[in-house]
Structure 1
Amino acid sequence: MKFIRMTLNKWEKWWKFVILLLLLIMTFTYAMFQGGFVSWFLFYSFLPFALYALMIFVYPLSDFTVERVLGDQELTAGDPVVMKIIIKRNMPVPIAYLLIHELLPERLEILLGREKISSIVFPGFRKRIELSYNIKSMPRGEHTFNKLEIRTGDILGLIEKSRMIDSDKKILVLPATVPLPLRQVLGDYEQGKRTNSYKIRNETAMVSGIRDYAPGDRMTVIDWKSSARGVGLKTKNFEEKHSSDFFLLINCESDHSVFEEMVTFSASIAEIGLTKGMKLGLWAGGGGLDNLLEVKEGKGYVHKALNFMAKIKASPKIDVSSPRFYTPQTRFIPPNASLIVVTSVLHLPFVKAYTNLAGGIHSLYILFFCESSHVLNKAEQEAYTFGINHGAKMSIIRNREDWGVFEERGGR
């Protein structure tokens, strides 16, 4: 179908050219055989339009070049942008009109609800044309403007021609950040009360004492020698370590609207934590994606983290029965880091994957983002309960009022 359309467009140009020549020949023949003022007036009146149409037909649109000028090539989501387009040519051929179509990147096309931004100019003999357009609110992401279509023709519409011009310009739009009243992981660290605490749950950790067994204690931490003395089950107390590391894991399997909220939230956490001197690692995966930003610290790292989150994209949700659930390799996660999982997918295999990743060594926060009217279904309730029972701090985020999280919730 596309081939047929291209073939018809190609022949249409030549058919119009043939029609133009026939009209010119017919008016001349009529004047020659009919004679008189009226017939020759008709011919000479049509002649300038025909000659102009022939000139447009032979004039190459490859003479045009396009340059895009942008003040700020790095913006924040929600910022307006003014794109200036400069069109140049070498030959001062008179052009009656020039239709300009800016073909928008895919994400802007979805946001604005249209494929292109159009404008018409009347160049005349000018060799340089400048025009600009404004986009009021830019969405997060890396946007590439690379296609501009120009169209022109004669005054009578007998000859029309167009050309697609490549002119690349990239705009990086960083995610917006908002102040968050973060508790526990970030709040206490900021106030100097303590850093993020965790207990090492392995056999090589330093044992600091013995206590009575409590329901929920793992079998691996039971002190069997003390328990064998007949005074009841005893559990080892481990040395408490301190760290300000946290590792942010973003599940990209998400719908577009929810995903943007997830990224804004994640960017806000990263900015606050890094500004306060904490260490941050980032991983974005799911749906075939696997992007990693190693653990770093310092205010200078904020821009790199925001740059990382500007480029990640939502991917379609996969079937929950699939055995492939993406988690980063454990070698990339510091042994003392808290894991913060940001997701809009919640089911048992997913939660199991992250509780296994935490392995009793890392503090685990799973933040489930959903629409404000969303009610947990049976599978999500099962996953939620499993996470709580296995030491994960579960939070359901339905709107921005829930963004002051990092505490276990009992409500659903």
Structure 2
Amino acid sequence: MKRRGNDSNVMLAEAAKGQPAQGFPPSAGNKTKPSGAGKAGTGAQETVVEEPAQSARPSVYRTRWGAWLLIAAGWLMSLAGMLTRGGAVETFMLIVLSLLPLLSIVMPLLSTLGLTVSRIIPEAKIKDGDEAVIRLTLRRSSIVPFVWIAVHDGMTNTSAAKRTSLDYRYLVAPLLRKEMEISYSVLAVRRGEHQFGQVTVTVGDWLGLTAFHKKLECPGTLVAVPALPEQQRRRAEQLHGAMAEQVSGDSSAAFISDGGEISAIAADRLLQQAGIGPDSRPYREGDSMRHINWRAAAKGRGMFTKQHLLEQPAEIIMIADTHSAAFNHDGRLFDASLAWLARGIEQAAADGCDVRLLAGTVGTGGAKEKQKRGGQAGHQQVNQLLERLARLKLTKTAVSVDSLRTELGGLKAGSVIHVYTADWKSGQSWIKLAAYAADQKCGIRLHVVTKQTVLTFAMREQQRLLEEAGLSVNWLAYPDKMNRPTQTAEGGSRHAR
């Protein structure tokens, strides 16, 4: 995360797993190395650590009970010396040690009274990989000098299989200010629903002897909807709607260039039905001979009918596979699958098609949502579908074809079922679903996300078997840019510092 603000006091962002400081961090044993030491008024290092939200974290700041024990012993000795000898040294030491509790206990304790915190998230819904800005405002009821205040904030991705907490720590010596504004940003936010909970505020004295902790409720929600990286999304949009001929005669070939960019062949595949173009569909009995793609038939790709713009599917059903084993328990591969599904929903909405989404606990009574045609209502429905995709979680339950039939219900003739998964090995399950779709006079397309740069023989053979069973197979590339870790950065790419 990134600290922002123009406070000239000491500020510090610490790692959640760092060595706990015994008192005031810059001078009391904190082992965090300052960065940007050449800048006046700042000496900060910001570290982001992901760890399980349930793990018990020790308090970074704590009261030095050993030091207070020595101070109490010294106070008793000074009192005894003053009563027995009545010397000036003993009296001076007694006065000094008597003032320490006032400075190190009373003043920090008074500063904790009336503490409030509020949170503002300017953009509560962003896309996967975007930057999020969080603003905290801390207020105290009275002006109490000679104290420092540390703020610990964090967010948890509740949609991830392993809930990880991203922490941020901020330290300031406010002197005579009653209100402090803290602004930071998180870069490369991953898909999911991120929840903000309690904000821990620690108040201590400048001598580093005492630390009072106070937890304040400050809920907030940040939703990161699935989305492809910008460069790859633009590439896909450029290819959409263009009649692309297959470069190679092998319909199962797919290549990805070095650096994670999809090659021309593979990019065309993402928008075509196994290489036959986005404006074609398998031949059906009764189709006009004038609309048959004879060029594709001459190359041995089978009989396909050219589909004109007016011949849109009656309904588009999007199915998101949420079985954890299908994605090899890889959460980011699951995110990539949902990103391609989200692009399909957006494209279908742009074409004015009716969209139905089956996701979540598919096969166990999962909920269904339908996107209406056109207009502002359609746009709102698309946003609702994307937010639902953002909240999806991987499950241990495999997709049941029998339950899918119940979920699908009565299908309109001419509808198209799109299945997004990473499981290309479960051929029998998809073949059964294809047979059911064929009985309903509907088409089915299987979109398989893979990290393979070149399809293996087993993958090509499985594609051949699936296509013979009536499925259209799309191999979707995994964008390497989705591997960018959530990290911190000085300044902001979208917001002024």
Above 0.5 in TM-score?
yes
Answer yes or no: is the 8 Å Cα contact 1:252–1:285 preserved in 2: yes
Deviates more, 1:31-40 or 1:121-130: 31-40
Change (3 A) 1:194 1:368: closer
Does residue 338 (structure 1) correspond to residue 406 (structure 2)? The answer is no
> How far 1:67 moved relative to its partner?
0.5
Relative contact order, CA 8 A, sep 6+: which one is greater? 2
| 1:58-77 equivalent positions in 2, closer than 5 A | 58-59=109-110, 61=112, 63-77=114-128
Does residue 305 (structure 1) correspond to residue 382 (structure 2)? The answer is yes
SS of corresponding position for 1:290: coil
Q: 2: CA distance between counterparts of 1:17 and 1:377?
A: 72
Give RMSD over aligned pairs. 4.3
Does residue 362 (structure 1) correspond to residue 459 (structure 2)? The answer is no
| 1:7-406 equivalent positions in 2, closer than 5 A | 21-56=72-107, 58-59=109-110, 61=112, 63-94=114-145, 96-106=147-157, 115-176=166-227, 178-179=233-234, 180=236, 181-182=239-240, 242-244=311-313, 245-253=315-323, 254=327, 255-286=330-361, 290-298=366-374, 300=376, 301-310=378-387, 311-316=390-395, 318=397, 329-331=407-409, 333-346=411-424, 347-360=426-439, 361-373=441-453, 384-399=463-478
Aligned-pair identity (%): 16
Q: 1: CA distance between counterparts of 2:162 and 2:185?
A: 14
Deviations 1:328-347 (A, max 9, x none): 61226433311111101231
Q: How many correspondences in the alignment?
A: 351
Radius of gyration: which is bigger?
1
Q: 1: CA distance between counterparts of 2:167 and 2:478?
A: 33
Normalising by structure 2, report the TM-score.
0.59
Structure with the larger strand share: 1
Residue segments in structure 1 that go unaligned for 5+ positions in a row: 201-206, 210-240, 402-412
Q: 2: CA distance between counterparts of 1:110 and 1:308?
A: 21
> How far 1:357 moved relative to its partner?
3.7
Answer yes or no: is the 8 Å Cα contact 2:360–2:393 preserved in 1: no
Change (3 A) 1:243 1:134: closer
SS of corresponding position for 2:147: coil
> How far 1:169 moved relative to its partner?
1.6
Q: 2: CA distance between counterparts of 1:199 and 1:348?
A: 23
Deviations 1:102-124 (A, max 9, x none): 12213699999864111101122
Q: 2: CA distance between counterparts of 1:151 and 1:309?
A: 38
Q: Which one-letter code corresponds to 1:137 in the other structure?
A: A
Answer yes or no: is the 8 Å Cα contact 1:263–1:309 preserved in 2: no
Q: Which one-letter code corresponds to 1:362 in the other structure?
A: C
